[in-house]
Structure 1
Amino acid sequence: MTVRVMFVSPAMTADLRQARFGGRSPLDESGTRAATAAADAVPRADLVVRGSSSRCRQTADALGLRAEPVEQLADWHVGSWTGRTLDEVGEADPEGLALWLRDPSAAPHGGESLRQLSARVERWLAALPAGRVLAVVEPAVVRAATVVALGLASEAFWRLDVGPLTLTELSGRAGRWNLRCGRPLGGSRE
């Protein structure tokens, strides 16, 4: 029973441009325009889901998708850091930020640790039915899925970049996944 999971990262927002944790700003004009233009390139899927953020919802809508929100695919819960920029957190809590970046079990913000995020995403991957799944999710979820699916060390999470409106694909099944990553959402429909 093969599963093909196709992750689409959301389009651009002001919060993303500012490196703001858990931002809630809407898609900006360029993000909406890019997502709308990419709608014809979205691969077909048997199941279409999305993260719960407004950015995921707005991107799915602009892509013409009827995507159901899935709580397991929510953005990384970063507690007291939500809405703050990386620079603001670095100034206010440099020790906490340093701990968070080096220890995958740390959650100095009072939210989820990297290990907790990864475990949540891993449970979702393990429960998927056979077929093609399209998920519009935040970059942290794509990175966590990639790390757990490939059995990488947690530290690899910090080395993965997921740009706006890119497609990252995992195919296989629990315990044996292959990766096709980071191609721009474009080209012909599959």
Structure 2
Amino acid sequence: MNALRLIAAGHTPALRRAVFGGDPHLDEAGHHATVALKNSPALLPRHFPDDQPWLIAPTHAAQQTATLLGAPATTTEPALAEPDYGTWTGNTLDQIDPAGLHQFLTDPTATPHGGESLTTATTRLTAWLAQNTTSRRTAIAHPLVIRLLIAAALGLPPSTRSLAVAPLTVTRLTHHHGWTLHL
């Protein structure tokens, strides 16, 4: 079976405050929740043997999540990075121009921050999905990246806000003539 196990990185202070981008470490609650998840049935090696390194986003939170979950080894995967938020990086929602924020949230091609649009990020993630249809892999990334991966796998638009991915969510996708989501 060809499959991807996608794990949303644990909570960080920036995620709790809705800060755009940056590279924060897990907060104390995120650390404890990740340790608690380690023995979850979703992480048992039955479907995902530990013979391949886990692919992780280039962030402290993804690396810490992998370490706390006992990843056998990790490989940093640049394609799993959060979108580049340009001039918004490090800012909270209330620090962003409301018109620009509205544009970003309603138009997936918009880049009012001068960074990467959700459409561009989804194109990058769709290409990554296409390269990972023939093996069993585990990947850890920011919850937004996991949401964009799921949307791309299911052929949904990148602006789909009806998908909510919480920190430490474990999602499984299998591939056989297309992606299937397993909950």
Please name the residue that 1:18 is paired with.
17
Tell me the distance in 1 between the aligned counterparts of 2:133 and 2:106: 34
Please name the residue that 2:163 is paired with.
160
Aligned residue runs from structure 1 range 17-166, under 5 A: 17-41=16-40, 42-44=43-45, 45=48, 46-47=51-52, 48-65=54-71, 66-89=73-96, 93-156=97-160, 158-166=161-169
Q: C-alpha offsets along residues 79-101 of structure 1, whole Å, 9 cap, x if unaligned?
A: 11111111211xxx111111111
Distance 1:154 1:25, change over 3 A: closer
Tell me the distance in 1 between the aligned counterparts of 2:113 and 2:128: 24
Supply the RMSD in Å over aligned alpha carbons.
1.6
Please name the residue that 2:180 is paired with.
178
Q: C-alpha offsets along residues 9-28 of structure 1, whole Å, 9 cap, x if unaligned?
A: 11111111111111433211
One-letter identity of the residue aligned with 1:38: L
Which sections of structure 1, spanning at least 5 residues, go unmatched? 182-190
- Identical counterparts, % of pairs: 37
Tell me the distance in 2 between the aligned counterparts of 1:155 and 1:33: 31
Distance 1:38 1:109, change over 3 A: same
Please report how far the alpha carbon of residue 6 of structure 1 lies from its aligned counterpart in structure 2 after TM superposition.
0.8
State the aligned residue count. Answer: 175
Runs of 4 or more, structure 1, over 6 Å off, are: none
TM-score (norm 2): 0.89
Q: C-alpha offsets along residues 26-53 of structure 1, whole Å, 9 cap, x if unaligned?
A: 2111111111222233243353111011
**Contact 1:7–1:167 (CA<8 Å) still a contact in 2?**
yes
TM-score (norm 1): 0.86
**Contact 1:96–1:108 (CA<8 Å) still a contact in 2?**
yes
Distance 1:103 1:145, change over 3 A: same
Please report how far the alpha carbon of residue 129 of structure 1 lies from its aligned counterpart in structure 2 after TM superposition.
5.0
